[in-house]
Amino acid sequence: MSATSEDGRNARGGDAGRPPIAPREAGSGSKDGPRTPDLYTVFGGTGFLGRRIVRHLLRDGRRVRIVARHAQHATQAGEAGAEVLCADITNAEDVARAVKGSEVVVNAVSLYTETAAVSFDDIHVAGAGRVAAHCTETGVRRLVHISGIGSDPEAGDAYVRARGRGEAVVREACPDAVIARPAVMFAQGEALVGTILRLLRRMPIYPLFGDGETRLQPAHVGDVSRAVANALQVEDAQPVYDLGGPQVYTYRDLVQAIARSAGLRAHLLPVPFPLWYAMALGAERLPGAPLTRHQVALMERDNIADKDGMRALQVTPRRLEPIVQEIVQGR
């Protein structure tokens, strides 16, 4: 097996799991003018997932437009060959300007902490619907909307509920949209794995969410981004793809697996969810909100794929343990 980089590119310079490319009609257009051939627009193209989708598309030879809310972030993300556009998903004129001329669009914008200025509904419901509506109006060939496994319009938690409502709004505004639902994601030193490793190294006792029996199916962000890029390009895409990793863990087993791979001992302590909610209420007032009640709510729900979207999109997901070993060895 050839070695792969953090985003799934193999050591010989190619990309793993790239599918046959969907055919395009030459000279197609919309009432706003002709679409630019091969222009792939990525809303949230500076984020944890979005920037990796951008890299895959550039390596696939696509013209890419990165859309970000903040000009500084957008400029920093401007990789060679990518157009950069500063636009706000909550602004209809900005969205229309960003979508104009696009052949395909990805909405990878996400909000994890509400502020006085912007809510979950602003981004995940109204914003998502705005992007979808403009895609339909301008004749975009394909829209991929990034949601998440477990999204539920009837959920008690505002974040999970907004994600679920957003899916429904997107489907109504753009019936042919593809919805990608990643499981919890990890990367070298970032997100899930990085957080658990830091806590294992710093704390003599590791606090579990509840009894640690919530089931998770962590997926490498490089594999998820490759799958999303593939979903943009396959001819007959499914309406929904659940994108999980190769193995299902309980949270307890996941922490122990990471500890073993790092050569650490894990002393685990179950912590009731009501106590987690109380701690999160205080943590939300701290700079950067290191823990939120919405994160706690997500840990109360199993986060596993109903169907194997990775396989359908010709991606073989990587196991978590070798990634942890690479982190520990400094590779």
179-190 confidence digits (pLDDT tens): 999 999 998 867
The pLDDT score that the predictor gives to residue 3 is: 40
In the DSSP assignment, the letter for residue 48 is T
Q: Which token pair is 241?
A: 């793809």
Q: Which token pair is 268?
A: 């685990």
The pLDDT score that the predictor gives to residue 81 is: 77
Q: Which token pair is 86?
A: 């500063």
Return d(Cα 55, Cα 51) in angstroms, integer: 6
In the DSSP assignment, the letter for residue 15 is B
The pLDDT score that the predictor gives to residue 35 is: 57
**Strands of the sheet with 190-190, listed across from one edge:** 190-190, 185-187, 219-220
Roughly what angle, to the nearest 10 degrees, separates helices 320-328 and 251-261? Answer: 40
**Residue 185 near residue 219, CB atoms below 8 Å:** yes
The pLDDT score that the predictor gives to residue 300 is: 95
Return d(Cα 129, Cα 120) in angstroms, integer: 13
List the pLDDT tens digit at each of the 331 positions of the chain: 334 455 554 333 334 556 544 444 434 454 555 556 689 999 999 999 999 999 999 999 999 999 998 756 555 555 667 899 999 999 999 999 999 999 999 999 999 889 889 999 999 999 999 999 999 999 999 999 999 999 999 999 999 999 999 999 999 999 999 999 999 999 886 778 888 999 999 999 999 999 999 999 999 999 999 999 999 989 999 999 999 999 999 999 999 999 999 999 999 999 999 999 999 999 998 888 889 999 999 999 999 999 999 999 999 999 999 999 888 887 5
191-225 confidence digits (pLDDT tens): 788 889 999 999 999 999 999 999 999 999 999 99
The pLDDT score that the predictor gives to residue 13 is: 34
3-state secondary structure of 261: helix
Q: Name every residue whose Cβ is closer than 8 Å to that of residue 43 and which is 6 or more positions away in sequence.
A: 50, 67, 87, 89, 98, 105, 106, 107, 108, 109, 131
Residue 4 sits at φ, ψ, to 5 deg, of -120, 150
Nearest to 218 by CA among 100, 72, 324: 324
The pLDDT score that the predictor gives to residue 279 is: 96
Q: Tell me the sheet residues that pair with 241.
A: 180
Q: Taking CA 53 as the corner, what is the angle to CA 292 and CA 217, rounded to the nearest 5 degrees?
A: 50
The pLDDT score that the predictor gives to residue 290 is: 87
Q: What residue type is assigned to position 159 of the chain?
A: Y
Return d(Cα 273, Cα 278) in angstroms, integer: 9
Which domains are assigned to the chain? Answer: 29-249+293-328 (3.40.50.720)
The pLDDT score that the predictor gives to residue 8 is: 52
The pLDDT score that the predictor gives to residue 5 is: 52
The pLDDT score that the predictor gives to residue 11 is: 31
Which whole-number Å values give the CA distances from 195 to 201, 215, 280, in the listed order? 10, 18, 16
Note the pTM of the prediction, 2 decimals. 0.88
The pLDDT score that the predictor gives to residue 102 is: 97
Which helix (H) or strand (E) segment holds residue 309: the answer is helix 309-312
Which helix (H) or strand (E) segment holds residue 54: the answer is helix 50-59
What string of DSSP letters covers 177-236?
-EEEEE-SEEETTEHHHHHHHHHHHH-SSEEEEBTS--EE--EEHHHHHHHHHHHHH-SS
